[in-house]
Amino acid sequence: MRGIVIAWSLAIAIVAPGAQQSPAEPLRPTEDQLRLSAIEVARLVKLLELTPGMTVADVGAGLGAWTLQFSRWTGPSGRVWATDIDGVPLRSLRALIAREQLSNVTVVEGAPAATN
């Protein structure tokens, strides 16, 4: 399959009750989310016949667990568009991209009725 592949990620941020995290500090995907995303994205890569250099859209990217995996699969010649509608995940996505130095990822702010 060529072109743009849209992946609806179902990443859910779980914060333990009473956890002390500054609202200004970006959230991160949990170790479980990262582990599961590696398995799920590997399945999608096979099912959709993704190859390095392709363009992938992670719609509803959440904290970016799938975005990170797609970035690795598509490689430096590929492109990942990560979109979400909430400010917290968007801030967290941007922090993840900077921290992991993902030069092939673009974050896009979506809206309830448009992924942009």
pTM over 0.75: yes
* pLDDT on residue 23: 56
- Tens digit of pLDDT for each residue in 33-88? 999 999 999 999 999 999 999 999 999 999 999 999 999 999 999 999 999 999 99
Round to whole Å and give the CA distance between 94 and 99: 9
Round to whole Å and give the CA distance between 107 and 116: 10
Using the predicted structure, report yes or no on whether residue 92 has a pLDDT greater than 50.
Answer: yes
Place of tokens 């990170």: 68
Confidence class for position 7, pLDDT limits 50, 70, 90: very low
